[in-house]
Each structure stands twice: as C-alpha cells, then as structure tokens.
Amino acid sequence: MASSSRASSPFPSLVVSAALGLAGAAPAQEATRLADAYVEAVTKLNEEHRRKPRGNEEELAKRLPRKAARSLERLLELDEAGELEAALRRCSTAALDLALVGDFDALRLRLAELAGEEGAPLDVALARPRFLLIGQNGLSVAYLTHFAEVLDAILDAYDEVFGFEEWSKVPGKKLRVRVHLEERITSPPHFAPQFPFHSEIDFPVVDPDELRSPTSDGKFLFYGLCHELGHVIAMWGSPSHDTDHHAWAHYTGVTITEHLTGSRSFAELGEPLRDAQYGRTLAKEREAHRTTEPSLDDRDGVLATLIALHDAVGAKAVGTALNHLDREEEHRRVNGVRYHSFEKLAEGLLATLRSPKARRAVSELLP
C-alpha cells in the first residue's frame, strides 16, 4: 500500500497547485467544508432531475459545477486530519448517486491510502449505460465485470420479450445493483425502493469468483435477478396491500430465465447458470397451473391469469401496455416507485391492442 506522503500523489490529474492556497495541512473543518460543497452539488443536480427529468445520467453528471469538482480535488489533496475519512466517505456515496465512477475510484484510492494494509475491503464500482454495479465485502472489479455481462444479457432478454422502456423510478437514471459477498445467504435478493434518485436491487452472493446459480444450498440467484427486475418494473397494489401476491415477478422471472437460457447469447454465460435445468421456466409453471382457474384472489390464481394473458396476447403486448401507462402516468407512485393495478393493466392493453380476439381475451381474464 502506498505511503500517506503526498510527495508522489496517486491522483496526478487532481493535484492542485499552491495557487489554491493549500500549503500544508488544513484544519479538520476544511475537509467537512469541501465535502459539503461536493455532496450538496450532487444532491441539487439529482433533485432538479427528479423534478424535471432531462437526458440520461451521463449528461446529468456533465452538469456538475466546476466549483464542486475543484472542492473534490482539494479534498483529495488534504493531509490527514480528524474529519478527512468521514468527508471522503460522504463524497464517495455522493459520487455513486451520480454514477461518477472516476470520482469514486479516486476517493477509494485515498481511503485505501489512509487505511493502510490492515484496512477493511473497500467497495468497488462499475458503470454500464443502463446500470451501476456496487461490489461490497471484498468483491473485485473483475467479478463485477462478469456480473455486468449477465445483467446486460438479462436486460437484453427483457427488451426482446417485453420491451419495457424505463428501468428506473426516475427516468434517465441508471438502475443500481448492490452486490455483496456473504458467507451464506440469509436474506434473498430484493428490490430496495427507499432510495430517492434511483431504483436499486440488493443482491447477496457467496462465490467471490463469478456468479453461480443455483448455489450449493439451492439459492436460485440467476432467476432471482430476473425476478427482482420484475419488481423494479411494476409493483402491484400499494405498499400495504400486495394485489399480485408476488406472482408478477415470478412470472417475469421464469419467462426471462427460459428465454435467455434458450438463446444463442447464453452460450458464453450458461455453464454456471443452471436455473432452467431445475425448473425455473415458464413451461414448468404453465404445466403446474394448467388446471388452476385464473383469478386475482391468490398467488396461484394471479399466476394462472398472467400465464393465460401471456399465451393469449403475448409478453410484448403486456410490455407495451405498461409502457403506455407509464407515458400517461396512469399509476400510483410511492417514493417514485410505480404501483399498478390490474384494472389499469386491462385499460392499457385495450388501449394498445388491435386484435379483436386479443381484446376479448383481456376482457375475459381481467374483467
């Protein structure tokens, strides 16, 4: 690990000249002041974008004021002071809130420099056009690179099957996936809806080398990622009343698992991802529910309804209907999360379907 001496900085592009008035160590409050300037600028940009979305997150990040960037540069060049580590960590969180992975990596190097060889593993991050991955508890960037290939393939499959247009609760913001290494998985992957500026999935893993599924104790992580993306796209009912009985995400999960497993692009990913071989497929669910009466009364009834709808009008029609509802704002939002109803789904389908046979099937399945 590099020495804490500033004689040879690991941030040559961020070295600030004496003209900025940084001769020697600054008092502790200087670190707090500089962090405040950076964090507040990031928050202001995100707040403005949430109120009036414009462009994607790369374009949003380019609007970070130069004053805020200079504050970060100065913070990185401070000698060690009592508040420095806390200030660096605050800025690190803010950098991820705007997908500024370059800033995050510079902050990570400085934190590692302060911690020395005995420091705990620091988070790593990797950005792609549609998402930002955050690796925790010792995961490497190489691991995230492999995970990104899997997630890109899943999102491509969602494009092909459903054609959903927007993945984040705030248009233009990248989907976040927080991937953390654990000795064993005690809580399954889940959609974390509490973040104000983006949608995020919490995703535990047990293998530090690559994503393998199912795990040795039977956790279906590949299907689980497909499943959680279903929750990201649409919640049903309200936070206090689940009207789909958790069937929607299972339907999208098995549909995408089956589609991707049977695709040519899966060949390079497939060996460690064997969920379809263990029955996580739409075909398996269709057979299991062939005698179930479609209804909205319980999980099995809702799942039978979704399968029947899939077979009658196609998954693309379902995606088109939800996209229509999004554009028309025909849903309830709670902390930005879209909550749909089956009544509105029927309206969206009837507004976008042209086939009389398909429209009749919708009216029968979603009266």
pLDDT tens digits, one per residue of 328-360:
988 888 888 999 999 999 999 999 999 999 999
Is residue 6 assigned to a domain? no
Tens-place pLDDT, residues 168-188? 999 999 999 999 999 999 999
Mark whether 100 and 199 lie in a shared domain.
no
Strands (E), the chain: 124-128, 131-136, 175-181, 190-192, 200-205, 235-238, 241-242, 332-334, 337-340
Average pLDDT for 193-222: 96
**Same-domain check for residues 283 and 323:** yes
pLDDT digits (tens, 9 = 90+) for 146-168: 999 999 999 999 999 999 999 99
Q: Are residues 105 and 190 in the same domain?
A: no
Whether residue 63 lies inside any domain: the answer is: yes
Residue 54 has pLDDT above 50, yes or no: yes
Closest listed residue to residue 180, CA positions, set 156, 207, 155, 199: 207
Q: Is residue 2 part of a domain?
A: no
Query: Does residue 141 sit in the same domain as residue 242?
Result: yes
Query: pLDDT tens for residues 301-317?
Result: 999 999 999 999 999 99
Residues 234 and 109 grouped into a single domain? no
CB 144 within 8 A of CB 126: yes
Is 247 inside a domain boundary? yes
CATH number at residue 169: 1.10.390
pLDDT in tens, 64-102: 999 999 999 999 999 876 789 999 999 999 999 999 999
Specify if 130 maps to a domain.
no
Q: Which domain holds residue 205?
A: 136-365
pTM across the whole model: 0.90
Residues 51 and 159 in one domain: no
Among 100, 122, 144, residue at a domain's last position: 122
Asked if residue 250 belongs to a domain, the reply is yes
239 domain residue, yes or no: yes
Query: 68 or 13: which carries more pLDDT confidence?
Result: 68
Residue 1 lies in a domain: no
Query: Measured between alpha carbons, how far is 90 from 72 in angstroms, rounded to an integer?
Result: 11
- The answer, yes or no, to whether residue 268 has pLDDT greater than 70, is yes
Query: Both 24 and 78 in a single domain?
Result: yes
Same domain, 280 and 331: yes
The pLDDT of residue 262 is 87
Please indicate, yes or no, whether residues 172 and 304 belong to a single structural domain of this protein. Answer: yes
Structure-token pair, residue 290: 């062939």
Residue 215 has pLDDT above 70, yes or no: yes
Given a contact cutoff of 8 angstroms between Cβ atoms, the answer to whether 286 and 254 are in contact is no
Q: What's the rounded Cα separation, in Å, for the pair 216 and 227?
A: 20
State residue 28's pLDDT score: 66
Among 69-83, 130-144, 181-195, 287-301, the range scoring the smallest mean pLDDT is: 69-83
Domain boundary among 71, 96, 122: 122
Do 339 and 191 share a structural domain?
A: yes
Let me know whether 167 and 261 are in one domain. yes
CA distance 61 to 309: 41
- The pLDDT value recorded for residue 367 is 86
Mean pLDDT of 244-267: 94
238 contacts 256 by C-beta, under 8 angstroms: no
174 in the same domain as 96: no
Say how many domains are in the chain.
2
| Average predicted confidence (pLDDT) for the chain | 91
State how far the alpha carbon of 158 is from the alpha carbons of 162, 202, 258, 261, in Å: 5, 19, 11, 13
Which of 122, 146, 178 is a domain's end point? 122
